Structure formats: structure tokens, C-alpha cells
Amino acid sequence: MSLTEFAPAKVNLFLHVGRPGADGRHPVCSLVVFANVGDTLEAEPTAVPALAVDGPFADQAGPLADNLVTRALALAETPPMRVLLCKDLPAASGLGGGTADAGAALRLAARLFPEVTTDQIETAARRLGADGLMCLHARPALAEGEGEILSAAPVMPVLPAVLINPGVPSPTGAVYRAYDLSDGAFTADRPDLPDRFMNVAQFVDFLRLQRNDLAAPAIDLAPEIGKALAAVAARGGCLLARMSGSGATVFGLFATPAEAERAAATVAAERPGWWVRSCLLNADATAA
């Protein structure tokens, strides 16, 4: 029996970052949603564990023996699976791609093997890092602590969006080190959140008051990120443009899917070397 699971892109709508502690780790507060674009995994039981990767970004998957999919299944001690990963998201792009793939693999294991417990799956996800449990469940959340403390997000509208990755590296460690040397906000403040946002306009008004503290240092290190932000912000109907996570992917929010699709088409035509996708954020991402 072969099953398929979608691994949606993760988008940080805002990212507030505090000063590092004695261990060098930064407290954060971030509102996270998932997109209806991402990678796809297909898996079936097998005698010997195996992972194969194809898709436009297969060459960015790295050594298969150390892939997060392989690591997640080993941590969960699942029965052996043969997994085919179709890599449609650029790697190291601030979209949680590798961890999203691992979360999808763990969901597949839970579906394929009734004997695999929820505790096995969630413990493995936590051991993958701060985003592990978030990407396992792939639903909107407010992330605090180092990103591992999750609480329910407010009820939010579906957000038509454009995602752009300009194809430049934005190493997380280097971005955080640059932030530590900057005059950034250095506060992982949690904004007042209502129980529900009634519409896109109200939600965007709220988001405009928030920030991504890593954007300025990331753009200093990789100016192409700033060009991507400017490109989406200049499109007609763009309500808000911001970088996701530590970059290099940026997003623009729009009032309607048609406006997002037109903007994506324009940017893609102007910048054929960039990865550009129109999408919906906060839709039922895992059902895409």
C-alpha cells in the first residue's frame, strides 16, 4: 500500500527576536501559517528503509543518509519505509522545507503503521528542533520560547499571497550573528491578539504593526532579498510585503487570489531566475 502526504511551506507572518541567552539561543515570538504550495512525499512499507528524491530542487536535498526525513523516521523507530520525496521548495529558504518534509514523513508513518504511537511521532518531531512539532501538525500557531512553545493562533482569514525566493543563500546562523551586532529591537514581545480576525483588511492592519527582526541583517548580507521585497511590494494590490523567517524567501499579501496570481506572473516574467509562486496561506495546507 502506497500513501501520499503533502509537506506545506511554513511562513512566518511576523518574527520578533530577543537577545540571546547564555547558551546563545534567541527567544522568539512568531505567528506561523502554512501555504498550499510545498513538497510531496509518497511512501510504502518495505523490507529495507530507502529514500529517493526528485523534483526541481532534488539537487539541494543533501546527503540522503542525513536527510531530515531519514533522521525523523529513525528517531521515531518506525518500521522500514520506502519514501519518494518530490522537492518543489528551494532548500534553506526560510520556508521550513526540510522540517516540513520530516513532519510529512512522520504523518505517513502514523498512517501506514497502526502500531506507531502518537508519542513516538511527537517525540521524534520535537527532537528535530524548534520547528519540528509545528511542522508535524502543519497548522497555524503562535510560536514562542525558541519556537518550540506553541499555542493556538487566532482565527484568521485565508490569505492570498505571493512567495518569492531570489535564489541567494541566507544562512540562519550568519543572519542571527548579524542581528546580534545590529541595533535591532531585541525583544520577543507578544502582541495583543484577538480571538478572531474578521477579514483580510483587519488582519493586515494588525500585521503592519509587527515586524521581522531578522529582515534588515538578512538584507545586509544578501541584498537580493531586498530586491525581491521591492518587486512584490511594487505590484498592484500588494497589501504587505515581508521576509519569512531568516530568509531568503519573501511574501506579499493580496486581497484576492486573482491579484496574487497576476502579481506572481509579472514578477516571474521580469525575474525568470527567481522562484515565484502564488498561493493561499492559512488554507487547509496538508490537503493540497
Whether pLDDT at 281 is above 90: yes
CB of 225 within 8 A of CB of 218? Answer: yes
pLDDT of amino acid 101: 97
What residues act catalytically? 10, 131
Residue 126 C-alpha cell reads as 520535537
pLDDT in tens, 105-157: 999 999 999 999 999 999 999 999 999 999 999 999 999 999 999 999 999 99
pLDDT (tens digit per residue) in 60-88: 887 888 899 999 999 999 999 999 999 99
- How many percent of the chain have pLDDT more than 70? 98
Helix (H) or strand (E) holding 75: helix 68-76
Averaged pLDDT score across all residues of the chain: 95
pTM of the model: 0.95
How many helices and strands (H and E) does the chain possess?
A: 9, 10
Segment 172-217, tens digit of pLDDT = 999 999 999 999 999 999 999 999 999 999 999 999 999 999 999 9
Rounded alpha-carbon distances, angstroms, from residue 110 to 3, 38, 119, 123, 125: 11, 20, 11, 13, 12
For residues 164 and 231, the answer to whether their CB atoms sit within 8 Å is: yes
Predicted local confidence at residue 285, as pLDDT: 60
Which pLDDT score is estimated for 242? 98
User: 215 preceded by cis ω (within 30°)?
Assistant: no
Residue recorded with cell 529495507: 48
> What is the reported pLDDT for 192?
96
**Any idea which of 59-68, 121-130, 222-231, 269-278 has the lowest mean pLDDT?**
59-68
- Give me the pLDDT at residue 288, please: 55
Quote the pLDDT of residue 286.
Answer: 59
Note the pLDDT of residue 79: 98
**Stretch 3-20: mean pLDDT, rounded?**
97
CA count, 13 A, side-chain hemisphere, 80: 7
Is the Cβ–Cβ distance between 212 and 15 less than 8 Å?
Answer: yes
